[in-house]
Amino acid sequence: MDISKLTIKEARKLLDTKKISVKELVEEYLKNIEDKNKELNVFLEVYDDVLKQAEEAQKIIDEGGALELTGIPLAVKDNILIKGRKASAASKMLQNYQATYTATAVQKLIDQKAVFMGRTNMDEFAMGSSTENSSFGVTKNPYDISRVAGGSSGGSATAVASNMALGALGSDTGGSIREPASFCGVVGLKPTYGSVSRYGLMAMGSSLDVIGPISKTVTDNEIIFNAIKGRDKMDSTSIPHSDFVSTSPNLGEVKKIKIGVPYHILNQEGISNEVKKNFDTSVERMKKLGFEIKDIKLPNMDKSLAVYYIIMPAEVSSNMARYDGIKYGLSLEAENLLDVYKKTRGEGFGREVRRRIILGAYILSSGYYDAYYSKAMMVRKIIQDEFKEAFKGVDVIFTPTTPSPAWKIGEKTSPLENYLADIFTVTANIAGIPAISLPSGYVKISDNESELPLGVQLMSSHKNEDVLFKIGKKFLNEN
């Protein structure tokens, strides 16, 4: 077995049966990083104590106390805090910032003695869908280095796809786990809002943000999700572990699982033919596996993008207020306090972050608040109700993950073009429901181009990640 290309499940077996040591495993992945990181720009930092972490994990295994992730090499998105380590959110504002506490999700993995390889590149403060908004260069797609890896968790998705880690943490506010997972041919889960504590995740849109796993298989994804989920007293929106009770029929009864397809949303403009074809093939595959497919209507799903691009910048503008040149990170000298704020924020934030702060401040300003923010909140409620209704008739809702495969670096010149890439993903954040992106094969855009991965998305009702895992495993032929 090639140990440089393992899944978590395979690695667990090899470690537990002592066929390999944690050190051997970790050294393979460090070698993969050394071979490819320069070209792909995945890790902003590879930690210097990886071998020490490996030694500690080995001790636990030798003492017979191994848990599912003990000794497993993982990567972490650069907006999730680990005490004493740098966390920059790929922003010049936090270039040298050192975390003063550890995110709960990370702590749970540290408690299992997982090995953290390093922190991964992303769009600045998670705002974007290609990592082109990183202050430290774009992450390249492992299938075609002239293309983007997706974003904002592009580094985490590429780390898994190119065997630099066996799994990774990302964050998803409007698609940032699922979109890069689909562009890189891996599995990405945006869990139910509140299922994973946000303590230690740098806030972007607080009513939308969630930490989630990226992995090669659905089985691995479930392992990481189970390790990080649960109630945390540091995040009042977090949900207790015991609340996650599956209401879906078990897989022995595949025929009873109903998959809803909102065919009407596929007729929107801007969805590439490759995506449509790939999605049709995926629906056929679901049918062959024995699932019942139902055509459903979600009349307001097409408003999600507009709602997202009101609510998200409103929350961004208030969350970004803390970076004032005094409390955290960058602080530039100036004549007076106001100029310190202006200079630090003007130079510390990149264009996209500044654009969203301005947009959000405008949306929340008196006179416009009702016209934009209040209205968006009303439509959000309508969309939430529409999904609740839909889940009375079907177990999951099936769509493509993205309207196109990975685009060429620099190809999208206007912000709006980038925003449209989120058309299928933002809805799950608006509704707070879980959604998973599954790799669904490869497409060739033209004869002289490389094959590019595509993904499909399954959404389910609140706290019902279980059904996503069940169907996902069937779809990807996992046992």
Member of 78, 124, 132, 172 binding ligand GLN (CB under 6 A): 172
Q: Which of residues 304-333 bind ligand GLN (CB under 6 A)?
A: 312
Query: Which of 104, 112, 176, 457 touches ligand GLN (CB under 6 A)?
Result: 176
Give the active site residue among 21, 134, 135, 152: 152
Under the binding rule (CB under 6 A), the answer on residue 175 touching ligand GLN is yes
311 or 468: CB nearest ligand GLN: 311
Q: Smallest distance from the beta carbon of 124 to ligand GLN, in angstroms?
A: 10
Q: Per CB under 6 A, which of residues 178..217 are in contact with ligand GLN?
A: 204
Piece in contact with ligand GLN (CB under 6 A), picked from 39-47, 85-93, 174-182, 384-392: 174-182
- Please, which residues bridge with residue 258 across strands? 292
Piece in contact with ligand GLN (CB under 6 A), picked from 31-39, 167-175, 237-245, 295-303 = 167-175
Q: Show the tokens assigned to 348.
A: 């510390």
CB of 77 to ligand GLN, least distance (A): 10
Whichever of 148 and 468 has its CB closer to ligand GLN, that residue is: 148
Q: Segment near ligand GLN (CB under 6 A), from 68-76, 169-177, 261-269, 400-408?
A: 169-177
We find the least distance from the C-beta atom of residue 176 to ligand GLN, in angstroms, to be: 3
Pair of tokens at residue 51: 């071998």
Q: For the CA atoms of the chain, what is the radius of gyration?
A: 21
Cβ closest to ligand GLN, residue 69 vs residue 426: 426
CA distances for 277 relative to 280, 295, 475, angstroms:
5, 17, 17
Q: Which of 391, 383, 399, 385 is CA-nearest to residue 261?
A: 399
Is residue 152 at the binding interface for ligand GLN, with CB under 6 A as the rule? yes
Residue 447, Ramachandran bin (φ over 0: left; ψ between -120 and 50: alpha; else beta): alpha
Strand partners, 148: 140
Is 77 a catalytic site residue? Answer: yes
Q: Which residues are CB-contacts of 67 (< 8 A; sequence separation ≥ 6)?
A: 112, 113
For ligand GLN, the closer of residues 210 and 443 by Cβ is: 210
- Residue 98, CB-side half-sphere exposure with 13 Å CA sphere: 3
Exactly one of 9, 21, 36, 77 is catalytic; which is it?
77
**C-alpha to C-alpha distance for 4 and 25, rounded to whole angstroms:** 8
Q: Is 104 in the site for ligand GLN (CB under 6 A)?
A: no
CA-to-CA distance for 33 and 47, rounded, in angstroms? 12
Q: How far apart are CA 275 and CA 252, in angstroms?
A: 31
- Of 19-27, 127-135, 157-165, 366-374, which part binds ligand GLN (CB under 6 A)? 127-135
- Nearer to ligand GLN among residue 132 and residue 465 (C-beta): 132
Give the nearer residue to ligand GLN in terms of CB position, either 70 or 399: 399
Q: How far is the CB of 475 from ligand GLN (least distance, A)?
A: 23
Q: Classify burial at 7, counting beta carbons within 10 Å of its beta carbon; exposed 0-12, middle 13-18, buried 19 or more.
A: middle
Tell which one of 155, 174, 180, 262 touches ligand GLN (CB under 6 A). 174
Q: How far is the CB of 465 from ligand GLN (least distance, A)?
A: 18
Residue nearest to ligand GLN (CB): 176
Is 152 part of the annotated catalytic residue set?
A: yes
Residue of 120, 129, 437, 440 that binds ligand GLN (CB under 6 A)? 129
Q: How far is the CB of 272 from ligand GLN (least distance, A)?
A: 18
CA distances from 171 to 80, 95, 125, 212, 448 (A): 8, 19, 10, 6, 34
Closest to ligand GLN by CB, 73 vs 180, is: 180
CB of 418 to ligand GLN, least distance (A): 7
Of 125-133, 235-243, 250-258, 396-404: span binding ligand GLN (CB under 6 A): 125-133
With contacts defined by CB under 6 A, name the span among 123-131, 284-292, 339-347, 400-408 that binds ligand GLN: 123-131
Nearer to ligand GLN, 129 or 440 (CB): 129
Catalytic residue status for 176: yes
**Residue of the chain from 22, 82, 127, 138 that contacts ligand GLN (CB under 6 A):** 127
# residues near ligand GLN by CB under 6 A: 13
Residue 207 preceded by cis peptide, ω within 30: no
Near ligand GLN in 448-467, by CB under 6 A: none
Catalytic residue annotation: 77, 152, 176
Residues that bind ligand GLN (CB under 6 A): 126-129, 152, 172-176, 204, 312, 422
